[in-house]
Amino acid sequence: AQSVTQLDSHVSVSEGTPVLLRCNYSSSYSPSLFWYVQHPNKGLQLLLKYTSAATLVKGINGFEAEFKKSETSFHLTKPSAHMSDAAEYFCVVSFSGGYNKLIFGAGTRLAVHP
Amino acid sequence: DGGITQSPKYLFRKEGQNVTLSCEQNLNHDAMYWYRQDPGQGLRLIYYSQIVNDFQKGDIAEGYSVSREKKESFPLTVTSAQKNPTAFYLCASRRPGQRVSGNTIYFGEGSWLTVV
């Protein structure tokens, strides 16, 4: 069965320090992977996506993620956190062999402190 | 600018009442989706539609209904049969001609539904 697990429900960092949000997936098929960000009471905005090209994917606002097939992971990173990065982040998986839907992780809430 | 418009932003439902959430997109997308979001949980799929006049149940379709009479519009009705409708509802759409794998889904700003 396909699934996605975000390993941390909450992450707290200081402004200017690195960010790491962890995501693992389980799939029998070749996945496509996405990271979305959601600010309070807003819709989801795409940060970046992996679709079987380069394993290191760069997104908006300085975020990047690395697809590691051997570890079935797609962790999101940023070298230096900004106050505006405080939001909810969702790891999302879709499958080439699956029917037409996405699998969402439960989300990670990122807090950034001055 | 192209995008997805959801309305209303906030809606209150009385017990036993049906309410309808609007979703309109001008992106020329074929596929449209409705998701429900509860605190501390990821999004769960209610219904989706790949083309006009066709739609499929998602994982939590009970107590909900949809229609897809026009490409641009995919309204969601929350019926009185939905016993716990208080949640944040998100509409989404996807570019035409491709399966969801590898293809970006775009989201509206969401609608809050509260039972009073």
Indicate whether A33 pLDDT > 80: yes
Mean pLDDT of A53-78: 93
pLDDT at A98 > cutoff 50: no
Task: Count contacts between A and B (CB, < 8 Å).
Answer: 66
Q: How high is the pLDDT of residue B98?
A: 52
Q: Which band of pLDDT confidence, cut at 50, 70 and 90, is reported for residue A17?
A: very high
A5 in reach of chain B (CB within 8 A): no
For residue A107, give the amino acid letter. G
Mean pLDDT in residue range A71-89 = 96
Q: How confident is the model at residue B36 (pLDDT cuts 50, 70, 90)?
A: very high
Q: What is the pLDDT of residue B2?
A: 72
- What's the gap in Å between the CA of A74 and the closest CA on chain B? 15
| Residue A8 CB neighbour total at 10 angstroms | 15
Pairing of strands B111-115, B10-13: parallel
| CA distance readout (Å), A64 to A11, A45, A54, A56, B12 | 17, 15, 12, 7, 39
- Identify the pLDDT of residue B42: 80
Q: What pLDDT, on a 0 to 100 scale, did the predictor assign at position A13?
A: 97
Residue among B76, B94, B85 nearest B4 (CA): B94
pLDDT at B14: 87
A104 touches chain B (CB under 8 A): yes
| Residue A77 in this model has a pLDDT that exceeds 90 | yes
For the stretch A46-61, pLDDT in tens is 999 887 778 899 999 9
Residue A103 CB burial class (10 angstroms; 0-12, 13-18, ≥19) = buried
Residue of B nearest to A100 (CA): B100
Q: What percent of chain A has pLDDT over 90?
A: 66
Q: Which of B98, B103, B85 is nearest to B36 (CA)?
A: B85
The C-alpha of B96 sits at a distance from chain A's nearest C-alpha, in angstroms, of 13
Give tens-digit pLDDT for B61-76. 999 999 999 999 999 9
* Tokens 């697990």, residue located: A5
**A97: pLDDT strictly greater than 70:** no
Instruction: Please give the average per-residue pLDDT across A14-32, as a whole number.
Output: 90
Answer whether residue A99 shows pLDDT above 50.
Answer: no
The vertex-A79 CA angle with A74 and A84, nearest 5°, equals 95
Region A14-31 average pLDDT: 90
User: pLDDT value at position A74?
Assistant: 96
Give the pLDDT band of residue A9 (cuts 50, 70, 90).
very high
Least trusted range by pLDDT, from A19-33, A78-92, A94-108: A94-108
Contacts of A107 in chain B (CB under 8 A): 40-42
Q: Do A104 and B112 touch (CB under 8 A)?
A: no
| A32/B101 CB distance under 8 A | yes
Decide: helix, strand or coil at residue B55: strand
Mean pLDDT of A79-101: 82
